Amino acid sequence: MLQSGNGRTTPIQGLRAYRTAAAQFQVGDKSFQVQLRPEVTRLAFFMAEGQFTIFSPENPLTRDELDLLDVIANSILLDQLLPAQLVSMGFSWEIPDEALPGLLGLESITENTLQGRITQITQGFAEAEVSGKVQGRVMGATSQMQVAMRFQWSLMDRRVTALALALRDNRTAGYVDSPFQGTVRLQLTRQRRPEPQLLTPGKIPTLTFPPPEEQTRLVFRSSSGGFQIVHDRRWYVVTDAPDMVVFRLVDQRGLLGQCNLARSDFQGTAQLTLAAFQNNVRQTLGNSFGQFLGADEMESPTGHRLLRIHALGRTDDLKIHWIYYLLGSPRGGYYAAVFTVDDLSWPLFEEADRKFMEGFHFLEPTAATATGSSSAMSR
């Protein structure tokens, strides 16, 4: 820990080193494992104004790695549960809303009945029980949690040293995930080490708090598609198929946009003109097309030909912005990206498409990426 605080008026800052971190997941009849890569085993964390961020100061994390690390009851945040005043046997207190989003993986709290009660005080340690209900919001979903926990802390340095948690979560569908019901059970202990074993002098990366934007970005790699994208962590993958990847831009304000990304049916890199691309967009949108708001031909950050068309139209009674990209591939042909943003979200979108495409990079060709073609030219 580099700086202790409450994460609201006083930021929390720190650095962790992992020997290994892995988890096995079972979703329906499919199982998969997530393991932290060796190049991202030193992670920093920062909490200010109630917002908790884990980030890699050296290499971007994947979404799976971030989900592996940003867990319920993260030990970094456990001390937020402690009462502010001196305690005695039988003392009870309400757990404040501000302590819960980071601990329970929520964006905001709409209802909270959690109360703690001291059950034992002995030899400089106190033990407490906490129970109640919590309702909150995360990525457009409503989460209803039944929570029960027991924990012990040191009265001298106000550090939680052990915790047992049982949590039942009933969550509705959101912008990214399907509805689900699940139970979390965990036990953990915390111990101080006299000296860090993995963070010796010379192995501590340069840190800046709050973290710069480039250190909070995530990386998505498609081996079958032959590309990777380093992107704002507000972009979530909702479909990862061999022929198309679909991202959604989501934050606490709601669903701000979507991007469909795939290899294009267009062939060659020289014959397609900007005018021909505009004509194709108009035909694709059909009766939904209204007008063009922009048309640009440029060079991508990786030195490849890049075409961008911005069209405004209407679907039913809603105005829609469509932003079409064609990016010349070193293997011939194009990749196509289609961003869809409704007119109400457009002021909040803030040209997120340009930043997204700036993070697009081609991978070295493999047998898996040398063939196959699809189209993202859809509404």
Domain assignment present for 146: yes
Tokens at 32, concatenated: 């998969």
Report the b/e string of 24-52 with b at 16+ CB within 10 A: eeeeeeeeeebebeeebbbbbbbbbebeb
Q: Are 225 and 374 in contact (CB under 8 A)?
A: no
Report the b/e string of 89-107 with b at 16+ CB within 10 A: eeeebebbbebbbbbbbbb
One domain, residues 29 and 170: yes
Helix (H) or strand (E) holding 323: strand 318-328
Q: Which amino acid is at 274?
A: L
pLDDT at position 305 is 87
First to last CA, the chain: 48
Those residues whose C-beta lies under 8 Å from the C-beta of residue 67, and which sit 6 or more positions away, are: 34
Domain assignment present for 6: no
Helix intervals (H) in 82-225: 100-104, 213-216
What CA–CA distance (Å, rounded) separates 361 from 228? Answer: 5
Domain assignment present for 274: yes
Domain assignment present for 334: yes
Tokens at 188, concatenated: 């953990």
What CA–CA distance (Å, rounded) separates 225 from 238? Answer: 16
Domain assignment present for 246: yes
pLDDT at position 297 is 95
* Mean per-residue pLDDT, 256-283: 86
One domain, residues 147 and 229: no
Domain assignment present for 208: no
What CA–CA distance (Å, rounded) separates 159 from 175? Answer: 37
* Mean per-residue pLDDT, 216-241: 94
What CA–CA distance (Å, rounded) separates 62 from 82? Answer: 33
What CA–CA distance (Å, rounded) separates 302 from 361? Answer: 7
Task: Count the alpha carbons within 13 Å of 69 in the hemisphere toward its beta carbon.
Answer: 26
- DSSP letters, 29-57, are TEEEEEE--GGG-EEEEEEETTEEEEE-S
What CA–CA distance (Å, rounded) separates 52 from 41? Answer: 19
One domain, residues 37 and 158: yes
Tokens at 109, concatenated: 């709290």
Q: Which residue is it, tokens 């948690």?
A: 165
One domain, residues 133 and 18: yes
* Mean per-residue pLDDT, 7-18: 89
Domain assignment present for 307: yes
Domain assignment present for 377: no
One domain, residues 179 and 57: yes
User: Is pLDDT at 219 greater than 90 in this prediction?
Assistant: yes
One domain, residues 36 and 146: yes
The three-point CA angle 54-60-61 to 5° equals 60
pLDDT at position 368 is 45
Please, which residues bridge with residue 33 across strands?
Answer: 24
How high is the mean pLDDT of the chain?
90
Sign of CA dihedral 88, 92, 94, 99: positive
User: Is pLDDT at 272 greater than 90 in this prediction?
Assistant: no
One domain, residues 165 and 221: no
One domain, residues 221 and 165: no
Reported confidence tier of residue 224, pLDDT bands at 50, 70, 90: confident
Enclosing domain of residue 110: 12-189
One domain, residues 338 and 258: yes
pLDDT, tens digit, for every residue of 301-352? 888 889 999 999 999 999 999 999 999 888 777 899 999 999 999 999 999 9
Q: Alpha carbon 217 to chain centroid distance?
A: 9
pLDDT, tens digit, for every residue of 170-181? 999 999 999 999
Nearest to 189 by CA among 228, 222, 163: 163
CATH of the domain at 307: 3.40.1000.10
Q: Give whole-number Cα distances, 93 to 121, 162, 274, in Å.
A: 16, 19, 65
One domain, residues 29 and 131: yes
One domain, residues 27 and 149: yes
One domain, residues 180 and 128: yes
pLDDT, tens digit, for every residue of 19-73? 889 998 877 788 889 999 999 989 999 999 888 999 999 999 999 999 999 989 9
Other CB atoms within 10 Å distance of the CB of residue 214: 11
Domain count, the chain: 2
3-state secondary structure of 353: helix
